[in-house]
Amino acid sequence: MNLSDETIGRSNLFYRLGLLTRHWRQVLDTEFQFAGLTDATWRPLLHLHLLGDGTRQKDLAASIGIEGPSLVRLLDTLIAKGLIERSEDVTDRRAKLLNLTPEGRVIVARIQETVTALENDLLSPFSDDEIARVAEFIERLESTVNGARRRGKR
Amino acid sequence: MNLSDETIGRSNLFYRLGLLTRHWRQVLDTEFQFAGLTDATWRPLLHLHLLGDGTRQKDLAASIGIEGPSLVRLLDTLIAKGLIERSEDVTDRRAKLLNLTPEGRVIVARIQETVTALENDLLSPFSDDEIARVAEFIERLESTVNGARRRGKR
DNA sequence: TCAATATAAATAGCATACTATTTATTTGTT
DNA sequence: AACAAATAAATAGTATGCTATTTATATTGA
């Protein structure tokens, strides 16, 4: 008997989503070993590239969808690897501005290739239409869950 | 600009799934505070109930979809709370058998109610048909991702 | 103006998952 | 029977996320 087939409430959707995201992370971790990166560390690089140099930490964290303190340690790692630099914001001395180093830019290009190839590969069994429908469902569910989360926090 | 709308490869599906599962976990953590439980600790209780008394740790871990060592610490917590007991397996002295305590059974009943109500609530905007289609998609994607994961491990 | 409040980043500490390893025991092979 | 390989659980160490708090600086409003 495999209880992954058991249903609690209307579906075991959340159970399956948990498994899927953990397994996806493991695939990414394997895929990024070439650069000493992980699932958690490629996102700051890519999002910083997309947001542009001079982005603040809080904005980068928001873009990635993690909390500020979660980003701090990832940045420490990436700075230690020489891929990102922190610099002072002359207009606000509380803030730090982030920049990719030249080495960081090289890695970002490889990240884009790697993630694109991997997603294309893993999503190849599915039609664009099907993916779009699921993405739309996930987005609606996210906003429902997020509403419940915000209510819970109060 | 919100980069959650940026697309890498064919979709940002995985990005959204990551957010969703973290937020879902936070909702559950809030919901289970009444029993001092978390998203991680309710599953062992419920799955042990479904598998039945006398289940081995490795079977429980497989049912939940986590690794053996990940379960050990969760069980330590649950045993400290008096909800589960470990006992010797007379047929195999390496193994331990797990049982719910009477207190554990009470909690399991409340867990079932809570999770069912919460899922029904959060999934209420969606039709059964829609949920079933997404669940089927997730299942297919999981097996694709899992295949890549196993290949990566070698 | 200056005191209260808000904000950005960092720090501290917790929870959860993983892999690799260790320990005890069982199974399988010659 | 005896040794090698496999298995179950536990332990050790790492990574990633969170919340709460601290520190420094900026903003607001009486």
Closest partner residue to B26 among A1, A121, A149, by Cβ?
A: A149
Mean pLDDT over B127-150 rounds to 93
pLDDT of amino acid A12: 86
The pLDDT tens digits for B49-106 are 999 999 999 999 999 999 999 999 999 999 999 999 999 999 999 999 999 999 999 9
What was the pLDDT predicted at A107?
Answer: 96
| pLDDT > 90? residue A16 | yes
Q: B26-117 in CATH: which number? A: 1.10.10.10
DSSP A127: -
- Tell me if A116 and B17 make a contact (CB, 8 A cut-off): no
How much is the pTM?
A: 0.90
Instruction: For chain B, positions 31-60, list CB contacts with chain A under 8 A.
Output: 31, 46-47, 50-51
| Beta carbons within 8 Å of B78's beta carbon, 6+ residues apart | B41, B44, B45, B84, B104
Domain residue extents for chain B: 26-117
Give me chain A's average pLDDT, please.
91
Contact B139 A16 (CB under 8 A): yes
Helix (H) or strand (E) holding A151: helix A128-153
Chain A residues lying within 8 Å of B30, measured CB to CB:
149, 152-153
pLDDT band at residue B1 using 50, 70 and 90 as cut-offs: very low
Whether residue A4 has pLDDT greater than 60: no
Task: Give B113 or B4, the one with higher predicted confidence.
Answer: B113
Shortest CA gap B35–chain A (Å):
16
Which two three-digit tokens encode residue B151?
Answer: 């290949």
CB-based contacts of B54, cutoff 8 Å, min separation 6: B97, B98, B99
Are the beta carbons of B32 and B38 closer than 8 angstroms? yes
Work out whether the CA dihedral B84, B90, B91, B93 comes out positive or negative: positive
A72-128: per-residue pLDDT in tens?
999 999 999 999 999 999 999 999 999 999 999 999 999 999 999 999 899 999 999
Nearest partner of B14 among A127, A113, A27, judged by Cα? A27
Q: Which fold has domain A12-123?
A: Arc Repressor Mutant, subunit A (1.10.10)
- Model pLDDT, residue B152: 81
List of E strands, A46-121: 55-56, 84-88, 96-100
Q: Is the distance from CB of B99 to CB of B85 less than 8 angstroms?
A: yes
